[in-house]
Amino acid sequence: MTGSSPVQLIRPKRFGDTRGWFTEVYSVPAFSALGIDCTFLQDNHSLSVPAFTLRGLHFQTPPRGQDKLVRCVRGAIFDVAVDIRKGSPTYGKWIGAELSAENGHQLFIPIGFAHGFLTLEDNCEVTYKCSDIYAPDSDGGIRWDDLAVGIDWPMPARTIPELSAKDAVQPLLADFDSPFPYDGRPLAPLA
């Protein structure tokens, strides 16, 4: 799908009645129709107890890169992808969307993008599919607050998010030598 944005916001349809609702969150034919043809090998599930917990910005380097399909199953998060593909005209640019249990939206983040999220409520649970298993030797990240990237995290002024020790000391984008090639698809606004 040359020309389409590599990061995609997926809005699964919900079918409801007096009992509640039903939705199909993943289907190979439906995702193939969107140009998403990866095979997912691992599912992850996280719980973040305090609001304004920030996880990211993470990625795995080749040959263990990971496409991710992220959704929030309890609470609400602001989910972000940062283009880290060498030679991309949108290198260092970011895109974000609110994912919540209420809206049911998902964000597809392909290899070549750093991923992170900020919880907007207490007790948020996030699940995501990955196209490769966790590989500690390929684990990487960049700073969540890198001014060169300039993510506008939706949190009150002077709030310091809850961070892991690892995320507090990730390198700046300027100190990162990207191994990810540009595939000809610049980052575009979410449709």
Q: Which of 26, 45, 58, 182 is catalytic?
A: 58
Angle at 171 between CA 49 and CA 179, to 5 degrees: 110
Q: Which of 115, 128, 134, 182 is catalytic?
A: 128
H helices of the chain, in order, are 28-33, 165-168
Distance linking the first and last C-alpha atoms of the chain: 15
Listed residue (129, 22, 23, 125) closest to 74, CA to CA = 125
Length of the chain counted residue by residue: 191
> Is 91 in the active site?
no
The count of other CB atoms within 10 Å of the CB of residue 133 is 10
**What tokens appear for 170 in the block?**
């990730």
- Cα 141–chain centre separation: 13
In this structure, are residues 115 and 68 in contact, taking their beta carbons and an 8 Å threshold? yes
- The three-state secondary structure class of 124 is strand
> Is 45 in the active site?
no
Q: Which residues are catalytic?
A: 58, 128
